[in-house]
A and B are shown apart, each in its own frame.
Chain A
Amino acid sequence: MRGEKRAIAQTISIIENNETRAQEIVSLLYPKTGRAHIIGITGPAGVGKSTLVEKLATEIRKQKKTVGIVAVDPTSPFSGGAFLGDRVRMQDLSLDEGVYIRSMATRNSLGGLARATKDAAHVLDAAGKDTIIVETVGAGQSEVEVIKVAQTVVVVLAPGLGDDIQAIKAGQMEIGDIFVVNKADRENADKAVSDIRTMLEMDTEEKGWKPPVLKITALIGEGINKLLENIEKHRVYLKTGVSLLQRRANAEVELIEALKQKITDSIIREMRQKGEWIEVTEQIMARKTDPYTAADNMLKQRLKTSGKA
């Protein structure tokens, strides 16, 4: 599949659409993955993630490495449609043969990514991309799924988003391997940097990696080389430091995710086939049962049937 852009594009679609061949394809590709370095870019809406991704990819290309980008934007919970606009900031990359960009809608997955994002990254990895950048939706405080996909997570913030109380909250502020204060030419950039540093210093747990806090003005490319240097340092750290334990934890997460999806899918399919799905939904609507009891019953039933098989 190396280099075949049409094949990459169609493979990602098959996975995204959860077509019958999707699992077979993922299984085939899996042994060929694990070579690329996957960088996650996350942070609130409007802090400049897409602009940063473009500049970062451009910088990586100077090192003659190829880049795959998966940029995620939200699906409308009302229409199911999506407006995917990350490419607007990435126009200069669109004709670079060494860059592949894919826009992806969340299709109502929570956590800042789509269900298919990880597998799309796997496809790009198997296709030989050296570096893969995954850009999340504009993330709130609890969109932290990116840590399950990326090896290096960059949390992007901007001046004036909140004070030290915001910085101390759980979620996003805990997942950064690198923190970036973008739009650093604006007022209060130093304040933002010091708020984040203070928060990080309160972390008493002994860790081999101390997340750096970088000031960047992505629009003019200022500080991008510093960011890439730190990403590279983190990659080296992962290779030499914690890696075995971390890699086991990651594999565990992947397995748990796959298991959850399989169990849920198979139960829902069975209930739908039997025509019980709507019935149970209506019982919940009428408050005759609660979702937890209903789920318990479904699981019990499923275990019984699979026991017989």
Chain B
Amino acid sequence: MSTKEKKIRVLIAKPGLDSHDRGAKVVARALRDAGMEVIYTGLRQTPEQIAETALQEDVDVIGLSILSGAHTTLFPKIMQLLKKKGLDDVLVFAGGIIPQEDIPTLKKIGIREVFGPGTPTTMLVDFVKKTVPKPA
């Protein structure tokens, strides 16, 4: 209507080769139900595809879901590409099967939070709402 209509735009992406996206869909659904606009791109996305989609869709948040174990290879690549495209202000979080010992490394490259299996979706929603860069 007459007022400003800023919505939080989120890209839920599945990098790598695993073909199981139930978790990604649950997260997408929870964020949708929290009033966000969630863009889902499907399985087996390359880092280039993810960064390019984030650029074109002008998202505020990216959620990466990975189960294949390739996170230490793929996530740094994604973060580099985002930076290259000038998207360093986008909030990035991750979920899936990620060993505890890898989390500090991922946080160091700019992934703000890592959520494992069993995380209540309410926690995730709160995290995104609190951490998302404030709209200008």
Listed in ascending order, the chain A residues whose CB lies under 8 Å from chain B are: 5-6, 8-10, 12-13, 16-19, 75-76, 79-85, 87-88, 91, 94-95, 100-103, 105, 107, 264-266, 268-269, 272
Contact = CB atoms under 8 A, between A and B. Distances in A.
A101 B2 contact: no
Given A13-B58, A17-B6, A83 B42 contact: no
Contact of A84 (B2, B3, B39): B39
Interface in B4-19: 4-7, 9
A87 B41 contact: yes
B40 to A, nearest CB: 5
A100 B49 contact: no
A266 B42 CA distance: 42
Contacts of B52: 94-95
Contacts of A269: 2
B4 A83 contact: no
A153 B41 CA distance: 26
Given A82-B37, A266-B2, 15 more contacts: A5-B56, A76-B32, A79-B34, A81-B31, A81-B37, A83-B40, A84-B39, A85-B39, A85-B40, A87-B53, A88-B42, A94-B49, A101-B57, A265-B2, A272-B2
A81 B42 contact: no
25 contacts: A5-B55, A5-B56, A6-B55, A6-B85, A6-B86, A9-B55, A9-B57, A12-B58, A13-B9, A16-B5, A17-B6, A79-B35, A80-B7, A84-B40, A85-B39, A87-B39, A87-B42, A88-B40, A88-B41, A91-B42, A94-B41, A95-B46, A103-B57, A264-B2, A265-B2
B28 A83 contact: yes
A266 B31 CA distance: 32
A79 B49 contact: no
Interface residues of B, number: 35
Contacts, number: 98
A95 B48 contact: yes
A83 B29 contact: yes
Contacts of A8: 56
B132 interface: no
B1 interface: yes
Interface of B: 1-7, 9, 28-29, 31-42, 45-46, 48-49, 52-53, 55-58, 85-86, 135
Contacts of B41: 87-88, 91, 94
Contact of B5 (A17, A81, A85): A17
A268 B36 CA distance: 25
B1 A268 contact: yes
A81 B39 contact: no
Contact of B37 (A12, A19, A84): A84
B55 A82 contact: no
A18 B40 contact: no
B49 A81 contact: no
A88 B11 CA distance: 12
A102 B28 contact: no
Contacts of A76: 32-33
Contacts of A79: 32-35
Given A9-B58, A101-B56, A103-B39, A95 B49 contact: yes
B90 to A, nearest CB: 12
